[in-house]
Amino acid sequence: MLEWRRRREPSTAMLWVSPLIAIALTMLLGMIVFTAMGYDGFHAVESIFLTPFLEPQRWADIGVKAAPLVMIALGLAIGFRANVWNIGAEGQYIMGAVAGTGVALLTYEMTGWWILPAMALAGVLGGMAWAAIPAFLRVKLQVSEILTSLMLTYVAVQCLYYLVRGPWKDPDGFNFPQTRMFTADQTLPTVLEGSLVHLGIPVALLLAVVAWFTMEKTTAGFAVKVVGLAPAAARHGGFSAGRTTWATLLLSGALAGLAGLFEAAGPFGQLTPQFPVGYGFTAIIVAFLGRLHPLGIVFGGIVLAATYVGGEIAQSTVRLPQAATGLFQALLLFMLLATDVLVRWKIGWKRRAA
């Protein structure tokens, strides 16, 4: 008989192997589910998980989609470690883009190198401001940041709709609900000539290294971990839970806001009602796939970005609806949470009672 046995100490090997097991299980389960639904399950899984990596012309697209996911997930993961559950990153992402676009519309007839940095700063501040609301309510009034940050996402979406349909509508845009296109000085430069690869990709990688250094090598990073793991010890150690809540929420808001601005000033080049694509929610999966570790998150971001790219491929190869991508991502998170059990428990043959 097989039985579960608790490990004396959490397994470090399983900590890193279990996400790979989760991906394998997701592929298997996806194959079964989509075959049962009447699609070509095998090719659906191949298109979503393998084709994006095997065809080099897709790599730029993976990078473009991974950059915002990594940036948002880095901030979220630091919060999750401190038991601060910011699940409204999507709203902070939108408000970052909105604030940055505000600067873009103000500087529409100007030129200069300073315009893009000013937009980025506005993006950071926009995301921070939106995250400051749940931070204030949690620290001062003990209101759950889970519910408030999520509610604010719906509010942010309506703000975006209002602006692009109303005051910010492009006067030369044939009445379409969208802003002006950004000018050359307002657009994120590409890193590789003639490709989609924009500045956001190296910035995301750099931020991952900075986040890793902060979490592993500084007192601030240590404080975050202690507050999350042992709140009582943190109080004795002089680490303030309130300050940690403020810091992690503002940081994740800042990163989500910057990611939003990069997306607006990069792939979109303007704001439209189609701007929110759910990166703020998918980034939660990225954070867990990456084990809340900055370098793991880079890996997680690439995998989830590939499922977006692969989802588009599967739409044409096996006529899989776009919604299938979301279902795959949810299955992946289920599998991640399920395989987590392997870190603390192991399966073995039942021993005779001694």
Applying CB under 8 A, the residues found at the interface with another protein are 6, 37, 85, 87, 133, 137, 141-144, 146-148, 150-152, 154-155, 158-159, 161-162, 165-166, 281, 284-285, 288, 321, 323-331, 333-334, 337-338, 340-341
Q: 112 by DSSP, 3-state: which? A: coil
By C-beta, is 207 or 333 nearer to another protein? 333
* Cβ atoms of 47 and 216 closer than 8 Å: no
Q: 196 by DSSP, 3-state: which? A: coil
By C-beta, is 244 or 325 nearer to another protein? 325
For 296, the enclosing helix (H) or strand (E) is helix 294-317
CB of 334 to another protein, least distance (A): 5
Which positions ≥6 away from 150 have C-beta within 8 Å? 87, 88, 91
By C-beta, is 120 or 324 nearer to another protein? 324
Closest CA to 299 of 10, 8, 22, 7: 22
Q: How far apart are CA 187 and CA 277, in angstroms?
A: 20
CB of 218 to another protein, least distance (A): 26
- For the CA atoms of 83, 87, 333, 78, the dihedral, rounded to the nearest 10 degrees, stands at -40
By C-beta, is 192 or 337 nearer to another protein? 337
CB of 82 to another protein, least distance (A): 13
* Cβ atoms of 42 and 30 closer than 8 Å: no
CB of 283 to another protein, least distance (A): 11
By C-beta, is 250 or 283 nearer to another protein? 283
CB of 56 to another protein, least distance (A): 29
